[in-house]
Structure 1
């Protein structure tokens, strides 16, 4: 038996087939069917011909239609939106939560730098909102139609022996390291809309190693916890940028988890990229902490302790 599905444009083709037809091949394998693609003469659409048993075809078609329907629900409606990226201090307006806005002067500078430059390198202590702001800016850029997808990545420092002892497949092993990013998007989108974006391949959250060999066009790309990247990893990440993309590199130099802290790529990045057109730098301090008020006091206490320890070593 053969059943057909019409894909109306390039967006639907990408959603159904995936990069290099990987999603289509996975669908064939999962439902034990064959799928042929016939592209329209103008290159704008295509017809999928699915061959297999009746029950398997119905399940595969249901999966494909659900993917297209969920993506259509969250497709940005650019003509009715205010095209200003940053207005009245508001970065992003969630449907069921208060608007997300800059709460300190450095946060405001951070957001303005994001939309004025293609690459922003940001350094600051925990609690200053680096991850949350980056995710909010990415959603705003997607909403405005400035980009077509969001990709967020983190280095998995313990990708050797320690990670190997954890139970589960690679996704289950790396999931705890990526959890703060999931939390940020849950807070801004809600679980249902987050899943729709992720299921539609519009939002991708993955370990840094998954970026190798890719060219990311029309994407908003965020590297979080960048202090735990090595120079070769940082170079690999930065050179993934394709046409129409933006990048944010976030990190905290007080939380380097590498065995040799002096090898952190984030330490040398400002020196390497100094004076490069299109690159901006942003910094945060304890005064920008937006978590519990006690966090500021804890950071100050650690600063004093570190200075005292440095003097003692000398």
Structure 2
């Protein structure tokens, strides 16, 4: 009989939360630790002879309880996030996950950071009028910007959410796109809409669109505008030129906030054309009410596979 380590959960309701619907979280824990997980009374037991693994299991479940008490719904994503932070001994990341959160009115959605970097992003979005969020794919920069923008919109702090990005194709020509302006630009803004659809119900999104509270605007059509009482998200900003970025930044009017997101490792501009994102972040980083947050592969929450892919590309480039 192998040695086991057990964690006694505070009560039956907490046990049910940790186990998840139809014991989904138990199956995920078994996959993560490559050992059976048994439930006996209010105890959860990892059936493994590896003492280090047993201690890690107890630490993860203890943190999962704490996160649940803070309102964070225990699921596979949260389990993976805690596991990553424990692997790196990142107490700041775990603390940020407990202390920082964002509630979206009407949608009953609550968003928590899953790394220390994401906690910095959420704090920046809440405190600064202009945030540059720079990092690789999967770090949640667009998702968190959309979540904060929706909170501002639905709490009536802002009258409109404006979504924009440079229309630059990623190494391939899409040719002529049919439809009106919104239909032409929509495929380019699909990642932003994916985040919106994940955060609020479809009927609420439809109402916001019908009331013109969400606007799609190609970057090229921003010239000459003055945006007041808006929340603006400029996505894929690594593909702006210096001139485009300056034009965009000078559109921001009274009581308008902006989040600018981009991945400087995926620039699709012609060679010898400097990215407006890097240039602006460099010259504006010390100005009041502006923050520049750099995320790294340690902040990737999409999957371990994506983390490893980014690491391989980083190593090949260096």
User: How high is the TM-score relative to the length of structure 2?
Assistant: 0.64
Report the alpha carbon displacement of residue 94 of structure 1 after superposing the two structures with TM.
7.2
Q: Secondary structure at the match of 1:92?
A: strand
Among candidates 208, 216, 240, match of residue 197 of structure 1 = 208
RMSD of equivalent CA atoms = 2.3
1:275 shift after superposition: 2.3
Q: How far is 1:89 from its partner?
A: 2.4
Q: Which residue of 1 aligns with 2:58?
A: none
1:227 CA drift (Å): 0.1
> Aligned partners of 1:173, 1:205: CA distance in 2, in Å?
10
CA distance in 2, matches of 1:162, 1:188: 32
- Partners of 2:166 and 2:218 within 8 A in 1: yes
* Alignment partner, residue 243 of structure 2: 232
**Matched-pair contact (CA < 8 Å) for 2:300–2:306:** yes
Three-state SS of the structure 1 residue aligned to 2:224 is coil
2-side partners of 1:190 and 1:144: how far apart? 16
The equivalent of 2:231 in structure 1 is 220
Matched residues, number: 221
1:216 is displaced (CA, Å) by 0.7
Instruction: Provide the secondary structure at the position in 2 that maps to 1:99.
Output: strand
C-alpha contact 1:123 1:283 (8 A) present in aligned 2: yes
2:285 matched residue in structure 1:
274
**Gaps in structure 1 of 5+ consecutive residues:** 1-85, 308-314
* Secondary structure in 2 matching 1:151: strand
Q: Does residue 292 in structure 1 map to residue 292 in structure 2?
A: no
SS at match of 2:217: strand
Shift of 1:294: 0.8
Pairs within 5 Å for 1:169-188: 169-188=180-199
- C-alpha distance in 2, partners of 1:177/1:91? 27
State the shift of 1:163 in Å: 5.0
Point out the more displaced range, 285-294 or 172-181. 172-181
What is aligned with 1:140? 151
Residue 140 of structure 1: how far off its partner (Å)? 1.4
Distance in 2 (alpha carbons) for counterparts of 1:204 and 1:285: 30
Aligned position for 1:131: 142
1:255 is the counterpart of 2:266: yes
The change in CA–CA distance for 1:251 and 1:185 in structure 2 (over 3 A counts) is: same
Counterparts of 1:1-314 in structure 2 under 5 Å? 88-93=99-104, 99-158=110-169, 162-260=173-271, 262-307=273-318
User: CA 1:277 to 1:229, structure 2 compared with 1: closer, same or farther past 3 Å?
Assistant: same
Dislocated runs of 4+, deviation >4 Å: 93-98
Instruction: Please state whether the residue corresponding to 1:263 is helix, strand or coil.
Output: coil
> Matched residues in 1 for 2:261 and 2:188: separation?
15
Q: Give the secondary-structure state (helix, strand or coil) at the position aligned to 2:197.
A: helix
Q: 2: distance between equivalents of 1:261 and 1:182? A: 32
CA distance in 1, matches of 2:131, 2:247: 16
Distance 1:242 1:298 in 2: 40
Following superposition, the deviation at residue 262 of structure 1 comes to 4.3
Q: Which runs of 5+ in 2 are unaligned?
A: 1-96
Moved more, 125-134 or 87-96: 87-96
